Amino acid sequence: MSWRSIEMQVALPRTQDVGKLQEQQMKQPQHFQESLAGIQLKQQVMKRKQVNKLGDTEKIKKENNTNDELQNRQEKKEQQLLEKEVHPFLGQRIDFNG
């Protein structure tokens, strides 16, 4: 046997192995995406079937109440400021001298 035939016996199986590895690397992102999509689908189904907890609604109500309180306080401050403003010459003195 010549050296070339021996080299070819070793080289051909290696190229096949490399081809298989390349194919696996090319398909790996696709498999990852498929598994990720499956997981997300399961999570969506669970969220659809899951009942909302009472605590979540209470938190929302508390947030709405605090927002309302802040608005009320701000309106009261604005009204107080408007009441305190005095016109520079109207209503200061009344002239009874004819």
Mean pLDDT of the chain: 78
HEC profile of the chain: CCHHHHHHHHHHHHHHHHHHHHHHHHHHHHHHHHHHHHHHHHHHHHHHHCCCCHHHHHHHHHHHHHHHHHHHHHHHHHHHHHHHCCCCCCCCCCCCCC
pLDDT at residue 42, rounded to an integer? 93
Question: How far apart are alpha carbons 59 and 78 in whole angstroms?
Answer: 29
What's residue 39's pLDDT? 93
For the cut 80, the answer to whether the pLDDT of residue 35 exceeds it is yes
Please write the tens of the pLDDT for every residue from 37-49: 999 999 999 888 8
Which residues have C-beta within 8 Å of that of residue 92, sequence separation ≥ 6? 86
- The answer, yes or no, to whether residue 57 has pLDDT greater than 90, is no
Average pLDDT (5-18) is 70
Using the predicted structure, report yes or no on whether residue 10 has a pLDDT greater than 90.
no
